[in-house]
Amino acid sequence: MSVSNVTDIAEVKARNQALIEEVLEVYPVKTAKKRAKHLSVHEEGNSDCGVKSNIKSVPGVMTIRGCAYAGSKGVVWGPIKDMIHISHGPVGCGQYSWAARRNYYIGTTGIDTFVTMQFTSDFQEKDIVFGGDKKLAQVIDEIQTLFPLNKGISVQSECPIGLIGDDIEAVSKAKSKEYDGKTIVPVRCEGFRGVSQSLGHHIANDAIRDWVFDKMGDKPAPFEPTPYDVAIIGDYNIGGDAWSSRILLEEMGLRVVAQWSGDGTIAELEATPRAKLNVLHCYRSMNYISRHMEEKYGIPWVEYNFFGPSKIAESLRRIASFFDDKIKEGAEAVIAKYQPLMDAVIARYKPRLEGKKVMLYVGGLRPRHVIGAYEDLGMEVVGTGYEFGHNDDYQRTAQHYVKDGTLIYDDVTGYEFEKFVEKIQPDLVGSGIKEKYVFQKMGVPFRQMHSWDYSGPYHGYDGFAIFARDMDMAINAPVWKLAPPPWKKPEDDAYLLAAE
């Protein structure tokens, strides 16, 4: 039977349940039992998505997840542009993550800005055997000689550091003292810690707390505070996302005193405890520091979603609700200002995209946050899952985003994802570089939803126009009609999956 065009919700649920049963059959019994807990069909009204999450990946299954180092260096710390981040350990980790995440920034790279550079202690066997602390000290000295305008240094630990018993904290303290109290941050984000990138985010947040906030004491803000000061937390400025978000907050009358961490600086990190409100985009990677600032400095925080006009308007109003009428009116003015643009974007692209089905598998906030943007274009997200979500992510997803019957897959394996897509045949898959070509080979349009497929920004009103254009360009590209050779009959083999 055709499984691709079921519309009745009971049928959808039955199909999705059957699909889950089917993929589990491939596993050894023990693994099937484990994986079963991560796959589910969403039931409307439930408070979460019915999956276990933030659990160790099963060995050998081709998880798509990364590691704590990726979460700390790659996500949280790497974009802080005026600091130098040392990939401390062997050469590989820094090499593969070198400039790969499109954290846009402005600065003179190599002189006062260092984001797209790879600094490594390049561990050799002798460093493993005798320890790397002396080398780290020397690395810091050499950085000070060659990059005198750096504003701080972070030490991003790779796997061996925690295994050979190095004391990077002691080295960092000693060097900080030697260099007049310079900010030097040791980060214990060894790749084997935790089960995914997620613990790396947490460790990186804690390092900011312990080595940036606690160190600065009661240093006064470098600017005159205003009642409208906010900080953008959890926007990595991929393709310029934080910029197309910032412009809206400023247009509504707020003043953005810090960006965490895309296009961010150590000065902005230090200024954040003076903000009146922290606005949090990527809850997963930066809720920890937001909670800390709430507890310690009494700064409230609010989650927002800047994907697609519906969620943007909702978010602008929610953010404004923390302020006076001036800001509330400002929010309304911003919404009204961009309404004609949004109407025009939707008028242009919705007819080309309406009814198209999407499957997502991403990290952070995107498995839920982008759903509204697709819906604004008349599209439907029929499956979604998190690389490294926790239960609070799945709760938010269930309560505010997914529809009844949506297929949910946590820490999906390559095999599962491929089978799900093969059977459900969405019109678009949104995931990462490792998945992109798998699905394109299958003839399924694809957009990378980590890097925006080298496009962007997607945040904010300006970003939504780009998002709509890109989804249209993926789905309606003429190439997909070319995939099956015209002389092959559909029944020949898998050429036309829809014919199943």
Residues within window 106-145 making contact with another protein, judged by CB under 8 A? 106, 108-112, 116-125, 127-128, 135, 138-139, 142-143, 145
282 belongs to the catalytic site: no
3-state secondary structure at position 96:
helix
Among residues 70, 271, 465, 474, the one annotated as catalytic is 70
CB of 357 to another protein, least distance (A): 18
Residue 377's closest CA among 239, 471, 475, 474? 471
Could you tell me the two tokens for 176?
């900080």
E strand or H helix that includes residue 157 = strand 152-157
Is 422 exposed, middle or buried, given 0-12, 13-18 or 19+ CB atoms closer than 10 A? middle
Among positions 43, 483, 489, 500, the unique one binding another protein when judged by CB under 8 A? 483
Cα angle for residues 95, 181, 234 (degrees, 5° grid): 50
Among residues 35, 42, 67, 368, the one annotated as catalytic is 67
Instruction: Give 88's strand partners.
Output: 157
Q: Give the length of the chain.
A: 500
CB-nearer residue toward another protein: 103 or 406:
103
Among residues 15, 35, 85, 101, the one annotated as catalytic is 101
**Count, residues near another protein per rule CB under 8 A:** 132
Site string for another protein, 313-352 (x = CB under 8 A): ------------------------xx--x--xx-xx----
Binding to another protein, residues 217-236 (CB under 8 A): 222-223
* DSSP designation for 100: -
CB-nearer residue toward another protein: 10 or 344:
344
CB-nearer residue toward another protein: 1 or 347:
347
Among positions 14, 164, 216, 302, the unique one binding another protein when judged by CB under 8 A? 164
Count of C-beta atoms within a 10 Å radius of residue 249? 25
Sign of CA dihedral 17, 18, 19, 23: positive
Cα(229)–Cα(239) distance, rounded to whole angstroms? 25
Binding to another protein, residues 278-317 (CB under 8 A): none
Cα(93)–Cα(13) distance, rounded to whole angstroms? 41
Count of C-beta atoms within a 10 Å radius of residue 498? 11
Residue 455's closest CA among 441, 474, 437? 474
Sign of CA dihedral 422, 425, 426, 427: positive
Cα(278)–Cα(228) distance, rounded to whole angstroms? 11
Binding to another protein, residues 16-55 (CB under 8 A): 26-28, 30-31
CA 303 centroid distance within chain? 14
168 touching another protein, by CB under 8 A: no
CB of 14 to another protein, least distance (A): 25
CB of 464 to another protein, least distance (A): 9
Part in contact with another protein (CB under 8 A); list of ranges 3-11, 306-314, 368-376, 435-443:
435-443
Among positions 66, 273, 308, 445, the unique one binding another protein when judged by CB under 8 A? 66
Part in contact with another protein (CB under 8 A); list of ranges 301-309, 366-374, 397-405, 431-439:
431-439
70 belongs to the catalytic site: yes
Helical spans, DSSP H, in 276-322: 283-297, 309-320
Among positions 332, 352, 436, 476, the unique one binding another protein when judged by CB under 8 A? 436
Among positions 461, 471, 474, 475, the unique one binding another protein when judged by CB under 8 A? 461
CB-nearer residue toward another protein: 169 or 418:
418
Question: Catalytic site residues?
Answer: 67, 70, 101, 201
